[in-house]
Amino acid sequence: MCPDANFCEHYFDKLLEKFHPIVHAEGRGGKVQCKHGDGECTGNKYQLCVGRHTPPERNRDWFLRFLVCTWETRTMVYSRSIVSECLNKVDADKKVSSAVDACLEGSEGDGLMLQDARLVAKRGMQRSCTVAIEGTKRCIRDGGRWYDCPGGDKEEDFVRSLCDAYRAKTGKDSPLCPHAAHVSTSRKE
């Protein structure tokens, strides 16, 4: 599997621990032809199926922690047993587990792969870990380094971007966002 995706999933799991009430994480790497081979494509399909069937209110509790769990297995190829193990580890209920199984076995999973590949191409995302906020490319991590990050690549930079996006979407500030992100510049007399 892709080391940059591994890094990003762990990095944003820690960041979103605090901000998950105002953020919805999505896996975006499901190209039909995968850089790291068929095993990566299989893993992408599993991630897309789990993401599709994770209730929005459990997004971080299940989906992002599921992604981190799969990396912690230290295997390079996803298997159904890893999917089951990680769904159990994040306490996903039986309804979700059954829906994920059906997605993997049926045409839904293949459809998700095609849909995701089109979205990835439309957004111009060609690297494993391309961070998008509200559908806009924000930063890329590839080859172990961040680049093309106009808002910065530090944790506080991502927090500022998340808070700005929340404010733009809702018209209000989140109490989770640092006060400094909300302070307006005062006029000097």
What range does the domain containing 29 cover? 3-181
**Model-wide pTM > 0.85:** no
For residue 110, is it within any domain? yes
**187 lies in some domain:** no
Question: Domain holding 70: CATH number?
Answer: 3.40.30
> Domains in the chain: how many in total?
1
* Within a domain: 189: no
Q: Report if residue 188 sits inside a domain.
A: no
Spatial distance between the Cα atoms of 104 and 78, rounded to a whole number of angstroms: 12
Q: pLDDT digit of tens for each residue in the chain (189 aa)?
A: 677 777 887 787 777 777 767 665 555 443 356 666 677 777 888 888 998 998 888 877 778 888 888 878 766 556 788 888 888 998 888 998 999 999 988 889 888 888 877 776 677 666 668 888 887 888 988 888 999 999 999 989 999 998 999 899 889 888 888 854 444 333 333
